[in-house]
């Protein structure tokens, strides 16, 4: 009996604490007038840096200029982030992801013995080859470039790191893939002829297309209602390497 009373007290104390916390929170919200931000925050699939403003046009790397001077050692170091899932040596086994030997110039979703996602197989229909640009877009934000991919990796937002990594990948079995000539249209200051394919998808993703479940709704209320709107293609769990 007295035991029951003791638990009542403990429970009561707990509830009182929660009540006080709520009062303080609501109180401060009232005092500081918590206005809903103009632009809502979303969990973007690219944690390293916030995606550039939607209006910002990002030129694709000018491979003919950047590849010959890329830092291969830095590229190899960057591959450390891929190693948990990929081997790159010729004839290396598939892991969580396919072996990446000769990936630059290799046919998309073509490595023997690897079960690609439907998303990647569909992507191969429109993008049959891992060109330098394709690799760059995919590594920048895998889930954005190939929505539904089972590569659960957040992406590398830093262009220099990606360029070094792609240069190093090219040295792993893709040496036959010619480096394109420098392209003035891709050099800084050039008026972009055509926006990078996929660049506009960033904006769409911010609308919650890809794993972009809103963090909070208006006035910080958790938005339970918003989540079922996400597409069924379950984007991967938390990215392991960020």
Q: Are 161 and 70 in contact (CB under 8 A)?
A: no
- Length of the chain as a residue count: 242
Question: Quick one: 156 or 196, whose CB is closer to ligand HEC?
Answer: 156
Report the Cα 121 to chain-centroid distance in Å. Answer: 19
Which letter does DSSP use for residue 129 in this model? Answer: B
Within 10 angstroms of residue 3's Cβ, the number of other Cβ atoms is 7
> Closest distance between ligand HEC and the C-beta of residue 164, in Å?
11
Question: Quick one: 50 or 96, whose CB is closer to ligand HEC?
Answer: 96
Spatial separation of the C-alpha atoms in residues 53 and 73, rounded to whole Å:
31
> Closest distance between ligand HEC and the C-beta of residue 181, in Å?
24
> Closest distance between ligand HEC and the C-beta of residue 79, in Å?
6
3-state secondary structure of 20: helix
Q: Which residues bind ligand HEC (CB under 6 A)?
A: 81-82, 84-86, 96-98, 100, 103, 108-111, 116-117, 119-120, 130, 135, 138-139, 149-153, 156, 240-241
> Closest distance between ligand HEC and the C-beta of residue 53, in Å?
25
Question: Quick one: 44 or 135, whose CB is closer to ligand HEC?
Answer: 135
Q: Which of 147, 101, 99, 97 is CA-nearest to residue 123?
A: 147
Question: Quick one: 168 or 202, whose CB is closer to ligand HEC?
Answer: 168
């Amino acid at each position: 009996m007295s035991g029951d009373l003791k638990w009542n007290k403990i429970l009561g104390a707990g509830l009182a604490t929660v009540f006080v916390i709520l009062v303080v929170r609501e109180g401060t919200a009232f005092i500081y007038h918590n206005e809903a931000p103009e632009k809502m925050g979303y969990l973007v699939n690219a944690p390293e840096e916030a995606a550039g403003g939607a209006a910002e046009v990002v030129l694709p790397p000018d491979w003919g200029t950047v590849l010959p001077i890329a830092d291969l050692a830095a590229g190899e170091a960057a591959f450390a982030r891929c190693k948990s899932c990929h081997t790159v040596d010729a004839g290396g086994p598939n892991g969580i992801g396919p072996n990446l030997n000769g990936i630059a110039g290799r046919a998309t979703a073509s490595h023997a013995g690897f079960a690609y996602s439907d998303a990647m197989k569909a992507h191969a229909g429109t993008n049959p080859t891992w060109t330098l640009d394709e690799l760059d877009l995919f590594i920048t934000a895998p889930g954005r470039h190939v929505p539904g991919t089972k590569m659960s990796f957040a992406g590398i937002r830093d262009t220099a790191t990606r360029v070094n990594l792609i240069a190093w990948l090219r040295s792993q079995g893709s040496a036959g893939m010619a480096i394109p000539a420098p392209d003035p249209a891709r050099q800084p200051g050039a008026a972009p002829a055509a926006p990078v394919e996929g660049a506009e998808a960033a904006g769409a993703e911010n609308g919650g297309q890809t794993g972009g479940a809103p963090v909070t709704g208006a006035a910080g209320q958790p938005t339970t209602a918003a989540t079922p709107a996400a597409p069924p293609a379950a984007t991967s769990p938390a990215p392991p390497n960020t």
